[in-house]
Structure 1
Amino acid sequence: MADTVVLILASAGAGVGLFAAAQLGARRDWRTAPSTALAVFLLLSALSGLDLVLDRAGAYAAAPWATGMLWVTSLGLGPAILAYVLAMTGDPEQGWTPARIARIGWPAGAGMLLVMPFFLLPVSTRLAVYTGVGADADPLAGPLQLVFVALFLAVTLGYLAAAFAVLGRHVRRVRDLFSNLEDRTLSWLRALLLVMLAAWLWGAVKSALAAGAAHEAWLDAAAAAVELAWTAAIGLFGLSQKPIYTPQTETPQVLPAAGKYARSAMPEARQVEIAARLEQAMRGQALYRDPLLSLSGLAARIGVTPNHLSQVLNEHLGQSFFDYVNRWRVEEAVARIGASDEAILAIAYEVGFNSRSTFNAAVKKHAGRPPSAFRPAA
């Protein structure tokens, strides 16, 4: 029964991965860097599911020469997900050159080379290591299983750590560039990476504990279920995710890299002047009401460069662009909530917010109470 469940779940995971990758391939933007990276990840996830199907169906026992070949491709999951994160958070015009692929993929490639001697081992040992069949009688099975686990963790956890670091920098950057962050922070991807991290750690622990013994079907079923879930979720969210940067809006190059203001010593008097000009424009023209307001757009309206405006906001006013604009929006919204019977959500949209959740969070942050608390009692 448990083996049947494993087969069903693993087959479903492989099917979902292939279907989502095919959907990406059918889109007009399939050649863009994010679509390509996501399609590769989904294909590798599908191969992982197929690997488990072949194992449980007895295919490796019938064709032992193929044992472990698909496992090698699992080392590509880490670089594929990192490539997707880099593509989504980077320059939309940057493609996948051989040099860029090599920079991202060389650790996984090195891991694959380290695995190659496994295929020179006797067939019985390879089956014992990979499927658990005869593991009790083979002294090499347990140690080699631990080597496989350690190698997989070293490669994949390194890539996940890099992906989390990139996402952290990305969130800070978009707060400096945009006044509304919906669909731009990739919070869904961060959550799924945490699920993948937990699943891979659990898989490593259970593999290490079971080293040298036959595989437990229910553990494989749990692993297949989790892999099916994250493959479906990444496919669903990835297909619906809109580009974060476009040449028509903002690009990451609007702001300099790390240490961005260290070499730009703007005089204090100039910062005060820009801050005053900014205050006058926001108060007099209510520019914050534009839900699409960006750093570049606001800089153009007050006649300064985006870099100088960002420097004034961060160093002189001590706020990100996102927080600065939303403070103005909250100020007007709170005043209107207390002075009228307009619908609170309508006010939120009119002052520039584009979602209820962002509005509620901003009011609590800048005004200390939820929006409804500012409405006078009847």
Structure 2
Amino acid sequence: MIDPIVMIVTMLIVGQIAVSVPILFAKANKSALNLPLAIFLVAIGALALNPIIASMAPNWYALYTALAFPALFMLCPSLWFYVEGLTADTKWQLQKKQAWHFILVAPALIISVMILMLPKETHTAIFIDDTEVSGWFVSLILVSMLIMMLLWLSQCVYTLIKIVRRLSHYRKRLKDLFSNNENKELKWINWLLFIAVCTWIISLITVFSSSLLDQFLFNGTTEALFSLILIWSLIHFGMQQQPALVTDEISPKVKNELIETLDNNKNEQSKASKTALPTKKYQRSALSKEQSKRIADKINTVMQSEHLYLDASLSLHKLAQHLDISPNYISQTLNQTLTTNFFDFVNQWRIEAAKPKILANEATILDIALDVGFNARSSFYKAFKQVTGQTPSDFRKAHQT
């Protein structure tokens, strides 16, 4: 008999998915990014139904097993496509050439057909009673499933590494375009991946402990609760998050320049190499050293005289429009001449503006942070310590006489 708590949690998971998926499919026409998220949730929902089907509809369990097995191999590709779309430079679309990501679904479907060919008694013995069944056909199915599970585990590790690298690269790109990155860094995906890995590890430990130690180190309730948190987080944040690098509101010309800026910064080298020889990423640029120096002076002058850094929404595009200079040239100047990125450059000015306010001690740290252009107290603390090596409070104490 299924644990009542597991049943309730499973129904909550399925209920969330049942409400969210139709909305995502309806929005997929406007934004293809909703499609992989919907596919991921459908696959998760299919797998989550396992305890309910086994307990309440055993006559349908054989069909369910055959349908649910391929769903397992939809998880990694759909999650990757969703993260890829969120971090893309341009509006993301699912293309035919990307179909190879679903390559494991084909053999999974073949195994599903083989499962459907099993007699009901044999299926019950294998998948419900967990008893040994002899026969070459049964052995073929079990060996095939074992191989597919090993491939799936490899796919999970590969996808996890790809996502981590993609997010790291994406966050570097953000610093080339924006002066404030709150709600753009996708930190919630880090927690989602952490929960997913924990759920995966718990599942493996549960199988290991039940098979070899004849006891459960973790019960189904723990796994179900982790799954509920995972699904709720994905639905809550996933349905609200918008791609930060897609800039549909600007002109095509400037948009292309921004994309070129991002592409040029993909292989950013160390500061030492920047000061020694011209970097390869700018070797096709028409910007000379003299022009870059003039642009650097112009940027610093406008920051000092017009205090553009006080604008919390200041971006590379806004600065480029204000100066009437190509975003790519500004980015190149920041990287090569000033050896910094847009994010750190603007926040350096904000920190300098904040220092006398901190020493004056006439306002709270939050008020000072907002006054100089930060959107949050936490980001101000992080930037301030990065620049000065001290927290605002320590800075004030160190300069008190």
TM-score interval for Structure 1 and Structure 2 normalised by the shorter chain: 0.7 to 0.9
Aligned to 1:41: 40
User: For 1:269-325, what per-residue CA distance to the aligned partner results, in whole angstroms no more than 9, with x for missing partners?
Assistant: 333222222111111111111111111221232332212211222232222211111
SS at match of 1:43: helix
Q: Quick one: which amino acid aligns to residue 108 of structure 2?
A: M
Mean CA deviation greater in 275-284 or 117-126: 117-126
Kindly indicate whether structure 1 or structure 2 has the higher relative contact order, using CA contacts under 8 Å at least 6 residues apart: 1
Are 1:263 and 2:283 matched, yes or no?
yes
Q: Quick one: which amino acid aligns to residue 224 of structure 1?
A: A
Q: Give the 5 Å matches for 1:118-157.
A: 118-119=114-115, 122-123=118-119, 124-131=121-128, 133-136=129-132, 140=139, 146-157=146-157
**Partner residue of 2:322 out of 298, 301, 324:** 301
Q: Give the 5 Å matches for 1:1-378.
A: 3-25=3-25, 31-57=30-56, 59-60=57-58, 63-91=61-89, 93-97=91-95, 99=96, 101-103=98-100, 105-110=101-106, 112-113=108-109, 115-116=111-112, 118-119=114-115, 122-123=118-119, 124-131=121-128, 133-136=129-132, 140=139, 146-207=146-207, 210=210, 219-244=219-244, 245-248=246-249, 253-257=259-263, 258-259=266-267, 261-264=281-284, 266-339=287-360, 341-375=362-396
- How far apart, CA to CA, are the structure 2 residues paired with 1:350 and 1:63? 62
RMSD: 3.2
Asked if 1 retains the 8 angstrom alpha-carbon contact of 2:73 and 2:102, the reply is no
- Taking a change above 3 Å as real, the CA distance of residues 100 and 246 of structure 1, as seen in their structure-2 partners, is farther
- Taking a change above 3 Å as real, the CA distance of residues 215 and 120 of structure 1, as seen in their structure-2 partners, is farther
User: For 1:188-207, what per-residue CA distance to the aligned partner results, in whole angstroms no more than 9, with x for missing partners?
Assistant: 01220122123223323433
SS at match of 2:103: helix
Mean CA deviation greater in 334-343 or 273-282: 334-343
Shift of residue 362, structure 1, vs aligned partner: 1.0
Identity of aligned residues (%): 26
- How far apart, CA to CA, are the structure 1 residues paired with 2:217 and 2:26? 36
Asked if 2 retains the 8 angstrom alpha-carbon contact of 1:290 and 1:352, the reply is yes
How many residue pairs align between the two structures?
373
User: For 1:76-122, what per-residue CA distance to the aligned partner results, in whole angstroms no more than 9, with x for missing partners?
Assistant: 1111111111111114533334x15525x333434535634642663
Asked if 2 retains the 8 angstrom alpha-carbon contact of 1:134 and 1:214, the reply is no
- Structure 2 gaps of 5+ residues are 269-280
SS at match of 2:219: helix
- How far apart, CA to CA, are the structure 2 residues paired with 1:60 and 1:209? 26
TM-score w.r.t. structure 2 length? 0.81
SS at match of 2:19: helix
Q: Quick one: which amino acid aligns to residue 351 of structure 2?
A: V
Asked if 1 retains the 8 angstrom alpha-carbon contact of 2:111 and 2:145, the reply is no
TM-score w.r.t. structure 1 length? 0.85
